[in-house]
């Protein structure tokens, strides 16, 4: 009795301590998301204040077109950074959900197997109990029952091995079930964090887009006249030609073995899903004509490489926004403009159909689309004749 009393006194403080520790952990877990949310809201408020100050400065200084273009570039590059992070989070969310589905299916299968194994073990125990009335001493002394004894002994050995194997499988499945259940709990926690991150990134994206919209409106006011627009388009085209020429020289220096596009006319993969504006060759403004086509798309959707190649250019370009240029060999190049974010860097090899960017409206666009060109030795070709439309 004394032992029981002492034991109770020694256990009670430990139980109280563990309970208190659990409560503290629970409170910490409950407060962490709230704290994270408060931090995110504070950062968002700070960002909004920064963007408001930027717009006030532009208005006060009555910025010229070049200054506004620089501000637009900065804004679109910031949007690209957030878009890449958001895309990465979305991919992690999709992967998390796939893993949760797999673990849930495994959990169901394990639970079913454990129930079946419990039934099998119960059946084996009942069989052992029913066969437990044999008197081994008697059978040893009475030789006329030796054959019966041998059969019973063999049966017992068989049942014992089967039961041991079943118990081993049962223990393995129970251990695996515990691991899977823990894995599911961890994935659920990760999912919650990812969803919170995604929400925060979308809020930042919205703030950045509002800043871009204000800057773009000011820029469009500065180049409202036809002459200014023509001049702007000429500067933009010159910037693109320079980028393509530099990319072409880089391709010659790289000396990468690529097969070109000559055998792919009319068969190339459409880089974006959406309605095609076949603008190639038509008048754009004044004497400036379209050198490519526009493909309307959903903002943030995938831009795919039309064929295998090597990325030669991946940066922001005046009038075209975030641009990727891919060398396909034999003098052939494809140009992808107006992107929201670029996912490949210069020097990387890409496969046909591989995602290289996200659809956006950079370069001063008012709706999401892809600007697409195909060039051969610097000369613009009609993309509509090359794509499988």
Q: Is 336 helix (H, G, I), strand (E, B) or coil?
A: strand
pLDDT at position 28 is 43
Structure token pair of residue 271: 């880089």
Q: What digits encode the pLDDT tens for the residues 50-88?
A: 767 767 766 665 667 778 888 888 888 888 988 988 888
State which of 108-117, 199-208, 221-230, 340-349 shows the largest mean pLDDT.
340-349
Mean predicted lDDT score pLDDT of the chain: 79
pLDDT at position 301 is 95
**For the chain, what percent of residues have pLDDT higher than 90?**
29
Averaged pLDDT for residues 310-321: 92
Split at pLDDT 50, 70, 90, the class of 18 is very low
Of 164 and 103, which is predicted with more confidence? Answer: 103
Averaged pLDDT for residues 173-180: 86
Element (H, E) at 333: strand 332-342
Of 111 and 3, which is predicted with more confidence? Answer: 111
Q: What is the largest CA-CA distance in the chain?
A: 121
pLDDT at position 62 is 60
Q: Cα separation of 272 and 314, whole Å?
A: 18
Q: What digits encode the pLDDT tens for the residues 282-305?
A: 988 777 889 999 999 999 999 999
pLDDT for 375 beyond 90 = yes
pLDDT at position 143 is 46
Q: Cα separation of 322 and 88, whole Å?
A: 18
Averaged pLDDT for residues 28-47: 59
Element (H, E) at 195: helix 146-222
pLDDT for 362 beyond 60 = yes
CA atoms within 13 A on the CB side of 268: 29
Question: 163 Cβ partners below 8 Å, 6+ apart?
Answer: 121, 124, 125, 128
pLDDT at position 130 is 65
pLDDT at position 115 is 84
Split at pLDDT 50, 70, 90, the class of 187 is confident
pLDDT at position 193 is 84
pLDDT for 244 beyond 90 = no
Averaged pLDDT for residues 182-206: 85
Provide the b/e sequence for 79-105 (b: ≥16 CB within 10 Å). Answer: bbebbbbbbebeebbeebeebbeebee
Averaged pLDDT for residues 153-165: 67
State which of 138-147, 204-213, 252-261, 357-366 shows the largest mean pLDDT.
357-366
Q: Is 151 helix (H, G, I), strand (E, B) or coil?
A: helix
pLDDT for 129 beyond 70 = no
pLDDT at position 150 is 59
Domains of the chain, earliest start first: 14-222 (1.10.287.1490), 226-385 (2.70.70.10)
């Amino acid at each position: 009795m004394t032992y029981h009393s002492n034991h109770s006194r020694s256990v009670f403080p430990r139980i109280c301590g563990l309970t208190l520790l659990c409560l503290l952990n629970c409170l910490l877990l409950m407060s962490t998301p709230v704290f994270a949310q408060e931090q995110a809201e504070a950062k968002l408020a700070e960002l909004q204040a920064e963007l408001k100050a930027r717009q006030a400065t532009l208005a006060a200084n009555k910025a010229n077109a070049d200054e506004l273009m620089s501000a637009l570039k900065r804004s679109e590059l910031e949007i690209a950074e957030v878009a890449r992070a958001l895309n990465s989070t979305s991919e992690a969310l999709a992967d998390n959900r796939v893993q949760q589905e797999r673990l849930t299916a495994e959990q169901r299968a394990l639970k079913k197997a454990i129930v079946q194994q419990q039934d099998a073990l119960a059946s084996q125990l009942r069989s052992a109990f029913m066969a437990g009335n044999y008197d081994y001493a008697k059978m040893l002394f009475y030789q006329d029952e030796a054959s019966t004894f041998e059969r019973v002994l063999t049966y017992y050995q068989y049942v014992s091995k089967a039961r041991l194997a079943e118990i081993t499988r049962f223990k393995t499945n129970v251990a695996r079930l515990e691991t899977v259940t823990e894995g599911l709990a961890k994935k659920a926690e990760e999912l919650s964090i990812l969803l919170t991150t995604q929400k925060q990134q979308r809020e930042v994206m919205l703030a950045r887009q509002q800043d871009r919209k204000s800057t773009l409106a000011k820029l469009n006011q500065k180049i409202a006249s036809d002459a200014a627009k023509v001049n702007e388009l000429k500067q933009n085209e010159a910037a693109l030609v320079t980028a393509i020429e530099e990319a072409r020289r880089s391709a010659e220096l790289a000396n990468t073995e690529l097969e070109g596009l000559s055998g792919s006319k009319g068969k190339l993969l459409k880089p974006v899903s959406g309605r095609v504006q076949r603008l190639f060759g038509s008048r754009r403004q004044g004497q400036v004509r379209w050198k490519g086509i526009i493909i309307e798309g959903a903002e943030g959707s995938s831009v795919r490489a039309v064929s295998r190649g090597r990325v030669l250019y991946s940066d922001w370009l005046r009038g075209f926004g975030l641009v990727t240029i891919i060398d396909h060999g034999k003098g052939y190049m494809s140009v992808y403009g107006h992107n929201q974010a670029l996912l490949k860097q210069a020097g990387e090899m890409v496969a046909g159909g591989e995602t290289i960017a996200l659809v956006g409206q950079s370069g001063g666009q008012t709706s999401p689309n892809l600007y697409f060109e195909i060039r051969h030795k610097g000369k613009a070709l009609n993309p509509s004749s090359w794509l499988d439309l």
